[in-house]
Structure 1
Amino acid sequence: MPLPQPDDDLTSLVLRTDFGDDEAWDALRTALDAADEYTHATYVSDLRFAGVSVRTLLDEEAAADEDDRVIHLFLADPTAMEGPEHPLLAVDLADEPGRTFRVPARWFPDVSANLSIANMDFAEFADAADRSGTFRGFEGTDAS
């Protein structure tokens, strides 16, 4: 079954994989929406993705028709749900399938917008991640 599609070309897919706490899901969405004046996410909360692995997502994507493929997505997994920064797991499904990094809600609009319009490549953000694998902006930007 193909992955869901973002609502439009300017939003990224945020796929819920942790269904243990509806309030945490609401808090994560609130944090993402509050990070910028524009919406950057298409939220999908579908139990078929409960606990899904990156490998399974890659397999589903590989089996999809070319027109139905998703280039990247963000997972709302247990780490994103529980962490105070709500660090989503960004997943590359195209250039380096399976490559990941974390992106806190504060940085999500920047990453989503640039990936959605192909202004920057997934690798540029992943390469700028800190030692924990989390993108917190590029050197010289305000990380507060």
Structure 2
Amino acid sequence: MSSQTLPSSVNPLVIRTEFAQEATWKRICELIRAPVQLPGDAFYAHVDFLDDVAFRGLNKDQLVALAPRNYNHSVLFVVDGTTLRQADFPILVVDLNTQRGRSFRAIPSSIQAIENNLSIANMDFFEFADSAGKDGVFRGFPQR
């Protein structure tokens, strides 16, 4: 890999590390970009997509090591081989802040809630991680 650190970005990064399925990558990006409709409003994931073969095959620990301690985002979203191989495209979500390196997976439609709430410090990483299902995938909070 040529970069010494993750690139700076306006929004948290969605990093592509698996390059075998171009159409699936594009579909995942569409799903993340899609608005989440709530009564009276639509919400969007404010993320930047990093589609750079320099990151091919990097694992979670390698990506965390590329994030400087003063990185301007508290989370990374990683589209890896596991994401592409599973029907619901569970994206790896990695903490770069309090529990640096802790991770869970989340379906694309939940990236908006995670990004929005972490970016404004409305919720903490552990609240999403601890709410992942038995399979380690966060699919949203239960409806009350």
Decide which of 6, 12, 17 is 2:9's aligned counterpart: 6
Alignment deviations for residues 50-92 of structure 1 (CA, whole Å, 9 cap, x no partner): 110111122222xx362x4532110011122233322110001
* Structure 1 residues 131 and 39, CA gap change in structure 2 (3 angstroms): closer
Secondary structure of 2:137 counterpart: coil
Contact conserved, 1:103 with 1:135, CA < 8 A, in 2? yes
Unaligned runs of 5+ in 2: 37-41
Unaligned runs of 5+ in 1: none
How many equivalent residue pairs?
135
Q: Higher strand share goes to which structure?
A: 2
Q: Higher helix share goes to which structure?
A: 1
* TM-score, normalised with respect to structure 2: 0.84
Cα shift at 1:4: 2.1
Q: Identify the range of structure 1 (80-89 vs 122-131) with the bigger mean alpha-carbon deviation.
A: 80-89
Match of 2:102 in 1: 99
Letter in 2 for 1:33: R
Contact conserved, 1:31 with 1:86, CA < 8 A, in 2? no
* TM-score, normalised with respect to structure 1: 0.84
Map residues 43-82 of structure 1 onto 2, 5 A cutoff: 43-61=49-67, 64=68, 66=70, 68-82=71-85
Secondary structure of 2:64 counterpart: helix
For 2:5 and 2:72, the matched residues in 1 are separated by 8
